[in-house]
């Protein structure tokens, strides 16, 4: 038998951690291949993590609501075959068929280890505080007692002790304190200059406490809401946001859609919304301006080969999720409509797969669906641009004709383009949004669907 480490998989680009929301299997349960073992949540998606092997769950390394980093081992599954074995010395199994030299070396190591007078074995599970397996292993190897471990002030989320915290503690513990002789202290005092005036130490900044009334309701921010908030704050701290706005005449698009939406639904069984039309225009503009379809890594610009459009989707609880349409430039309008409808429905039903919310290269958000005329969206990192679609409104407009101008009723909307000014200058940002507008205004009212 061997033991398999079930790790937290990569859940999407720029996602480094996830929250464990529930265990679907208990210790001792038999697990089949692809059986979901636990559920996790990120700021982008909630998902089940399946088993890559068949076996029995023998150990759970994290509790519900724990934050887990990508690549960390979450569960141990005992299998019948020879699969990746847990690299714990106490768990290692020595095959009798190994080379004699290897067995001899292992026997010597075991004998030497037995001869070492070790400190009393610490049971780190006895403490009520949570420590990751990595922190426990370091504490065990460095002889850090439970009392010492509990006394360390953690810098991780919710005050958890991180790898850096335990290593810094071990380093300080192993550094001998220097004894200062009396003569050295006198010499130091003689070298200190006399300060004529001592400034009062600045008081620490105290956040104002919000006064509460008896009628006020306290609503805790949801786990997903906290993750989204962090993602938004990090984006503003990372990118130099700047916006460009343009008004677009979409009268031809409105007329064309009204003409085809019933026949489209009868034929395809799908609703024909404005979104696939806008997505098609964005995909065409990204092909024309590929430097909008990039990401930034330090001092390097990563030019993306594929055009993968994220579409911000509102959920019933008020949060947002961004499913991704892969290779959007290769879809016709029918394919685009089907992909958008499918992703939107499954997003609202919490049925998206992890791969369906990652690898986006540009994002579109429809603020007009809530009646907003335009907005200033925050860039979805590590992308460099995001487009907000405003509400379509009938407005009186000046219409230019060869024989003169006149006032008419037109359907118009605003496009709002936020882009990263570190790598996208005003010319590129403005030309891109103007190209999207030109595609929409040049819509062929006789186009076949």
pLDDT tens per residue across span 362-394 = 999 999 988 999 999 999 999 999 999 999 999
β-strand partners of 82: none
Residue 253 has pLDDT above 80, yes or no: yes
Give yes or no: 241 in active site.
no
pLDDT averaged over every residue in the chain: 82
Residue 97 and residue 75: Cα distance in Å, rounded?
A: 29
Give 61-81 pLDDT, tens digit per residue: 999 988 898 889 999 999 986
The pLDDT value given to residue 136: 78
Give me the pLDDT at residue 159, please: 66
More confident residue, 121 or 217: 217
Portion of the chain with pLDDT greater than 90, in percent:
47
Q: Catalytic: which of 231, 241, 260, 421?
A: 421
How open is the CA angle 3-65-128, to the nearest 5 degrees? Answer: 80
pLDDT at 168: 83
pLDDT higher than 90, residue 429 = yes
Instruction: Give the CA distances from residue 100 to residues 2, 89, 108, 109, 113, in Å, rounded to whole numbers and listed in that order.
Output: 22, 19, 12, 14, 20
At which residue do the structure tokens 């579109």 appear?
364
Model confidence, pTM: 0.59
Name the more confident of 21 and 130: 21
Residues 23, 150, 165, CA angle at the centre, nearest 5°? 85
pLDDT at 334 over 80: yes
Q: What is the reported pLDDT for 185?
A: 46
Banded pLDDT at 176 (limits 50, 70, 90)? low
| pLDDT of residue 432 exceeding 50 | yes
Residue 164 has pLDDT above 60, yes or no: yes
On the question of pLDDT at 9 being above 60, the answer is yes
Using CA atoms, how far residue 385 sits from 217, 361, 381, in Å, is: 37, 9, 9
Give the whole-angstrom CA distance, residue 431 versus residue 418: 13
Q: Give the integer Cα–Cα distance in Å for 297 and 420.
A: 13
Q: Is the pLDDT of residue 337 over 70?
A: yes
Indicate the burial class of 251 (C-beta count within 10 angstroms; 0-12, 13-18, 19 or more).
Answer: buried
Judged by average pLDDT, the poorest of 9-18, 49-58, 145-154 is: 9-18
Does 230 or 94 have the greater pLDDT score?
230
- pLDDT cut 70: percent of the chain above it: 78
């Amino acid at each position: 038998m061997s033991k398999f480490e079930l790790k937290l998989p990569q859940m999407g680009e720029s996602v480094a951690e996830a929250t464990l929301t529930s265990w679907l299997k208990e210790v001792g349960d038999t697990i089949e291949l692809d059986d979901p073992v636990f559920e996790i949540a990120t700021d982008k998606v909630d998902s089940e993590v399946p088993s890559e092997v068949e076996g029995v769950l023998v150990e759970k390394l994290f509790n519900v609501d724990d934050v887990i980093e990508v690549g960390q081992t979450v569960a141990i599954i005992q299998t019948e075959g020879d699969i990746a074995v847990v690299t714990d010395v106490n768990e290692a199994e020595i095959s009798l068929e190994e080379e004699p030299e290897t067995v001899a070396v292992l026997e010597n190591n075991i004998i030497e280890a037995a001869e070492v007078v070790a400190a009393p074995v610490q049971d780190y599970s006895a403490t009520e505080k949570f420590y990751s397996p990595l922190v426990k292993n370091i504490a065990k190897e460095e002889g850090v007692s439970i009392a010492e471990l509990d006394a360390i002030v953690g810098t991780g989320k919710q005050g958890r002790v991180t790898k850096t915290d335990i290593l810094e503690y071990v380093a300080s513990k192993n550094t001998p304190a220097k004894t200062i002789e009396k003569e050295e202290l006198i010499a130091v005092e003689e070298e200190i200059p006399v300060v004529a005036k001592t400034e009062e130490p600045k008081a620490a900044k105290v956040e104002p406490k919000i006064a509460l009334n008896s009628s006020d309701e306290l609503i805790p921010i949801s786990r997903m809401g906290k993750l989204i908030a962090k993602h938004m704050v990090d984006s503003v701290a990372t990118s130099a946001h700047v916006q460009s706005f343009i008004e677009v005449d979409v009268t031809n698009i409105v007329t064309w859609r009204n003409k085809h939406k019933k026949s489209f639904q009868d034929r395809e069984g799908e609703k024909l919304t404005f979104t696939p039309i806008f997505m098609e225009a964005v995909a065409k503009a990204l092909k024309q301006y590929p430097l909008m379809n990039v990401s930034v890594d330090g001092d390097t610009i990563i030019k993306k080969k594929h055009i993968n459009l994220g579409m911000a989707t509102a959920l019933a609880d008020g949060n947002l999720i961004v499913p991704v349409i892969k290779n959007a430039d290769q879809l016709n309008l029918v394919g685009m409509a089907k992909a958008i409808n499918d992703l939107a429905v499954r997003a609202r039903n919490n049925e998206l797969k992890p791969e369906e919310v990652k690898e986006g290269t540009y994002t579109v958000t429809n603020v007009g669906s809530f009646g907003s005329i335009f907005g200033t969206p925050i860039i979805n990192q590590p992308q460099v641009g995001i487009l907000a679609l405003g509400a379509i409104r009938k407005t009186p407009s000046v219409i230019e004709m060869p024989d003169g101008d006149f006032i008419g009723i037109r359907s118009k909307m605003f496009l709002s383009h936020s882009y990263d000014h570190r790598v996208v200058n005003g010319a590129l940002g403005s030309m891109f949004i103007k190209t999207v507008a030109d595609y929409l205004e040049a819509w062929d009212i006789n186009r076949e669907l």
